[in-house]
């Protein structure tokens, strides 16, 4: 209903200016905006919208808010365009103006949605004078080479993917970056161990698989912690790698390739698209970053290290820990790489990505790190005017006991094991349900449904939570057919598909829609909220807003379906109700697709 909101807001603003001709100059002098303060009505009985601007203007106009509201309403009554859209406004309480859309207006909006595969969501506009469609970079997932993806990578991966999908749908040019840990001192350790214990791996590309590599990493780390000679050899290996020594580079490439193959298996299962650009990509830019920061006078040498003290930038009363951009031994660290990445991403092609907005999806434990890096980038003037640099933090995945989710032995849960268990549990639930319903289905059907439901349940359980909070992981809760779960939403889609199979197809374009029950009007209003929800998620980067909307839409639809006949209704109500069913299914499918969740026709 965003277009209607903006239209009505403009009508009220015009009515206010006509009712109080001198108010514009007086408001400007008083520093008050002529904002009608139009919001969604808090309760259905208050209509669709509520204008609260009369309260703010009472002191300026030296009138009671209710009298101001009355004057505005009188002007609205003379506006033919407003009258075509809305019923006569009502004044409530001390001066609220309640506005209810006319049925014909709602029907027209539904008609438009039926013929629009975007369901009313406009594409982002390229503003006059701008050179291009805005580019958004979403930095997410970011596993480390030679380590398996675990449950800790789950939130970054699926939150980042859902945000990227929504921004892509809005029409932004989205660059999905996987900033993997593919560089650093740990590779000296790994390469040294590889040359010692598996030299054949340097000759045969498939000599190791990731399962071996995880154990391999632990063995290398144990040697590094306990063997001084091995430590020294590892440090020398880092120098060789940085210097481009052929065998060291080949070993590094092997380690990266083996990890990359296993990461891709997880991404394929989760239907995730990413462009890998690891830490190594920014190595050529690190010296230049430190040099530029030095030239800007931001760097202080402290105990041999090049540091930036954030309190000197922000003039804070309490000093903060400095950000080290170059260590005393001349090496660089994560902060330097992240600064180089910011500079490159904002730079215009061919020497950068030309980003207008950069979004980092990482756990909340990195909030201070990014705050410091962002402050430095801002003070270095690397962030273009009107560009955005944002950290999207998220909390921990916890077990049902409220503690960090781990295996019984205390190990971090591998992501592939978690997905396997979700699918197995979904298969068990499905098999039991098929037996109770005396249904015979093929193995292929069972496998497809179990896989879809299992993956959907894991994704939705995470995305439906406010990402800022920790959330408790529960297979029983996330696979439940009732409540705010993926299976509940999937079942709603399946239920509508069943209506179509029973003859509820829309063969031709419906030219006349007629509705008569309160359940229909409730469903219509729920359907028309879709566009505003998408814009909310785009701006606030909270996917749970979309989850909540889809859950509430499913609830409204199921009440409608349970209480109002569809296929047995008389015409034209039958076709009109089928149209609502179709639009509900389209909205659920599109919304779930934007969350990265596949839907089913049968389950």
Using one digit for the tens of pLDDT, what is the confidence trace for 535-559? 999 999 999 999 999 999 999 999 9
Omega within 30 of 0 (cis) for the link into 572:
yes
Pick 113 or 242 by higher pLDDT: 113
Using omega within 30 degrees of 0 as the cis cutoff, is the peptide bond preceding 134 cis?
no
Q: What's the rounded mean pLDDT across residues 15-40?
A: 77
Q: Which residues neighbour 71 within 8 Å (Cβ) at sequence distance 6 or greater? A: 19, 20
pLDDT band at 87 (very low <50, low <70, confident <90, very high): very high
Residue 463 has pLDDT above 60, yes or no: yes
Query: What count of residues does the chain have?
Result: 603
Q: pLDDT band for position 125 (50/70/90)?
A: confident
Residues 103 and 515 sit within 8 Å (Cβ to Cβ): yes
Q: Does residue 303 surpass a pLDDT of 90?
A: no
Pick from 63-72, 206-215, 407-416 the range whose average pLDDT is largest. Answer: 63-72
484 token code pair: 């705010």
Q: Rounded mean pLDDT of the chain?
A: 90
Q: What's the pLDDT at 160?
A: 97
Residue 87 gets the label, from left (phi > 0), alpha (psi -120 to 50) or beta, of beta
CB 188 within 8 A of CB 242: no
- CA of 205: how far to CAs of 199, 220, 223, 248, 250, in Å? 11, 20, 25, 15, 10
Report the top-level CATH class of 103-124+480-603.
mainly alpha
Q: Which residue has the higher pLDDT, 529 or 312?
A: 529
Above 60 in pLDDT, residue 318? no
In whole angstroms, give the CA distance from residue 560 to residue 574: 13
Residue 314 has pLDDT above 60, yes or no: no
| 603: pLDDT strictly greater than 70 | yes
**pLDDT tens for residues 556-576?**
999 999 999 999 999 889 999
Write down the pTM of the prediction: 0.92
pLDDT score for 31: 64
DSSP per-residue letters across 507-539: -S--------SHHHHHHHHHHTTHHHHHHHHHH
Whether the pLDDT of residue 410 is over 90: the answer is no
Q: Please tell me which of 50-64, 97-111, 397-411 the model is most confident about, judged by mean pLDDT.
A: 97-111
Q: Are 164 and 138 in contact (CB under 8 A)?
A: yes
Whether the predicted pLDDT of 312 surpasses 90: no
What CATH code is assigned to 135-180+279-397? 3.40.50.620
pLDDT band per the 50, 70, 90 thresholds, residue 389: very high
How far is Cα 449 from Cα 409, in angstroms, rounded to an integer? 31
Determine the pLDDT at residue 230: 94
Question: What integer pLDDT is reported at residue 332 of this predicted model?
Answer: 87
Q: What is the mean pLDDT of residues 356-376?
A: 94
Nearest residue to 137 (alpha-carbon basis) of 392, 360, 340, 374: 360
316 pLDDT higher than 60: no
- CA quadruple 459, 464, 468, 472: dihedral positive or negative? negative
pLDDT band at 258 (very low <50, low <70, confident <90, very high): confident
The per-residue pLDDT for 33 is 64
**pLDDT (tens digit per residue) in 485-519:** 999 999 999 999 999 888 777 666 777 899 999 99
Inform me whether the pLDDT recorded for 140 exceeds 70. yes
Q: Assess contact for 293 and 380: CB atoms under 8 A.
A: yes
Mean of the pLDDT values across residues 372-383? 95
Higher per-residue confidence, 400 vs 95: 95
Q: Tell me the mean pLDDT in the region 172-188.
A: 92
Give residue 407's pLDDT.
Answer: 62
266-270, 331-335, 362-366: the lowest-pLDDT one: 331-335
Q: Nearest CA to 387 among 119, 135, 113?
A: 135
DSSP states along 344-403:
HHHSPTTSS---SEEEEEEEGGGHHHHHHHHHHHHHTT-S-TT-EEEEEEE--EE-TTSS
Mean pLDDT value of segment 591-595: 98
The predicted pLDDT at position 241 comes to 87
Gyration radius from the chain CA atoms: 29
- Residue identified by tokens 């839409």 is 553
CA separation for the pair 311, 320 (Å, rounded): 6
Is residue 594 pLDDT above 70, yes or no?
Answer: yes
The H-or-E segment that residue 300 falls in is: strand 300-302
Grade residue 586 by pLDDT with cuts at 50, 70 and 90: very high
**DSSP-derived 3-state class of residue 591:** helix
Q: What is the mean pLDDT of residues 443-448?
A: 96
DSSP states of 464-495: TS-TTS-EE--HHHHT-SSSSSHHHHHHHHHH
Out of 3.30.1360.70, 3.40.50.150, 3.40.1710.10, 3.50.50.100, which CATH number does the structure's domain 2-101 have?
A: 3.30.1360.70
The mean pLDDT of 278-298, rounded to a whole number, is 94
Model pLDDT, residue 130: 66
Q: Which of 482, 483, 481, 478 is nearest to 454 (CA)?
A: 478
CA distances from 508 to 108, 371, 601 (A): 17, 55, 22
Same fold, 103-124+480-603 and 135-180+279-397: no
The 8-class DSSP code of residue 95 comes to T
| pLDDT above 90 for 179 | yes
Angle at 222 between CA 219 and CA 223, to 5 degrees: 90
pLDDT of residue 19: 86
Domain ranges of the chain: 2-101, 103-124+480-603, 135-180+279-397, 186-271
- pLDDT given at position 129: 63
Structure confidence at residue 244 (pLDDT): 87
**In which band, very low, low, confident or very high, does the pLDDT at 59 lie, cut at 50, 70 and 90?**
confident
Q: pLDDT value at position 2? A: 87
Could you please report the per-residue DSSP string of 5-54? Answer: HHHHHHHHHHHHHHHSTTHHHHHHHHT------EEE-SSGGG-SEEE-HH
pLDDT (mean) for 52-72:
87
Q: 229-235 — which CB contacts under 8 Å span 24+ positions?
A: 230/189, 230/192, 230/193, 233/192, 234/185, 234/188, 234/189, 234/191, 234/192, 235/185, 235/188
């Amino acid at each position: 209903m965003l277009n209607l909101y903006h239209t009505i807001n403009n009508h009220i603003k015009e009515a206010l200016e006509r009712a109080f001709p001198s108010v514009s100059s007086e408001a400007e002098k008083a520093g008050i905006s002529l904002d009608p303060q139009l919001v969604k009505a808090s309760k259905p009985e208050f209509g669709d919208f509520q204008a609260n601007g009369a309260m703010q203007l009472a002191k300026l106009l030296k009138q009671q808010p209710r009298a101001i509201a009355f004057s505005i309403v009188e002007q609205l009554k003379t506006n033919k365009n407003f009258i075509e859209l809305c019923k006569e406004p009502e004044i409530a309480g001390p001066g609220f103006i309640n506005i209810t859309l006319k049925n014909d207006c709602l029907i027209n909006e539904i008609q438009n949605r039926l013929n629009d595969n975007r369901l009313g969501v406009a594409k982002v506009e390229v503003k006059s004078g701008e050179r291009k469609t805005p580019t958004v970079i979403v930095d997410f997932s970011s596993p480390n080479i030679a380590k398996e993806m675990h449950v800790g990578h789950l939130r970054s991966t699926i939150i980042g993917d859902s945000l990227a999908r929504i921004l892509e749908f809005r029409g932004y040019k989205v660059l999905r970056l996987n900033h993997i840990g593919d560089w650093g001192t740990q590779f000296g350790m790994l390469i040294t161990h590889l040359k010692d214990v598996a030299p054949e791996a340097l000759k045969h590309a498939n000599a190791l698989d990731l399962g071996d590599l995880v154990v391999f990493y632990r063995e290398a780390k144990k040697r590094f912690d306990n063997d001084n000679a091995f430590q020294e050899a590892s440090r020398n290996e880092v120098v060789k790698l940085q210097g481009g020594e052929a065998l060291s580079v080949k070993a590094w490439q092997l380690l990266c390739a083996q990890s990359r193959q296993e990461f891709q298996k997880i991404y394929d299962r989760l239907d995730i698209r990413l462009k890998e650009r690891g830490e190594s990509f920014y190595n050529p830019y690190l010296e230049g970053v430190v040099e530029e920061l030095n030239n800007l006078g931001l760097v202080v040498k402290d105990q041999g290290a090049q540091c930036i003290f954030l309190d000197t930038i922000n003039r804070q009363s309490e000093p903060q820990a400095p950000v080290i951009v170059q260590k005393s031994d001349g090496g660089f660290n994560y902060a330097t790489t992240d600064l180089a990445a910011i500079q490159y991403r904002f730079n215009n092609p061919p020497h950068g990505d030309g980003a207008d907005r950069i979004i980092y999806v990482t756990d909340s434990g990195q909030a201070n790190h990014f705050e410091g890096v962002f402050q430095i980038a801002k003070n270095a003037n690397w962030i273009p005017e009107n560009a955005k640099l944002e950290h999207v933090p998220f909390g921990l995945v916890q077990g049902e006991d409220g503690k960090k989710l781990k295996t019984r032995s205390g190990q971090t849960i591998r992501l592939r094991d978690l997905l396997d268990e979700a699918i197995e549990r979904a298969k068990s639930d499905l098999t039991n349900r098929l037996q109770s319903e005396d249904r015979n289905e093929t193995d292929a059907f069972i496998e497809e449904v179990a896989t879809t439901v299992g993956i959907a349940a894991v994704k939705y359980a995470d995305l439906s939570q406010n990402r800022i909070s920790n959330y408790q992981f529960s297979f029983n809760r996330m696979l439940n057919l009732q409540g705010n779960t993926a299976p509940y939403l999937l079942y709603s889609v399946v239920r509508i598909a069943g209506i179509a199979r029973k003859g509820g197809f829309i063969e031709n374009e419906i030219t006349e829609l007629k509705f008569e029950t309160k359940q229909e009007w409730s469903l219509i209003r729920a359907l028309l909220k879709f566009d505003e929800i998408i814009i909310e998620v785009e701006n606030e980067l909270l996917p749970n807003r979309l989850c909540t909307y889809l859950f509430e839409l499913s609830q409204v639809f199921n009440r409608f379906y349970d209480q109002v006949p569809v296929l047995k209704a008389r015409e034209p109500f039958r076709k009109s109700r089928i149209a609502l069913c179709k639009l509900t299914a389209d909205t659920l499918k599109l919304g779930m697709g934007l969350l990265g969740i596949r839907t089913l026709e049968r389950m």
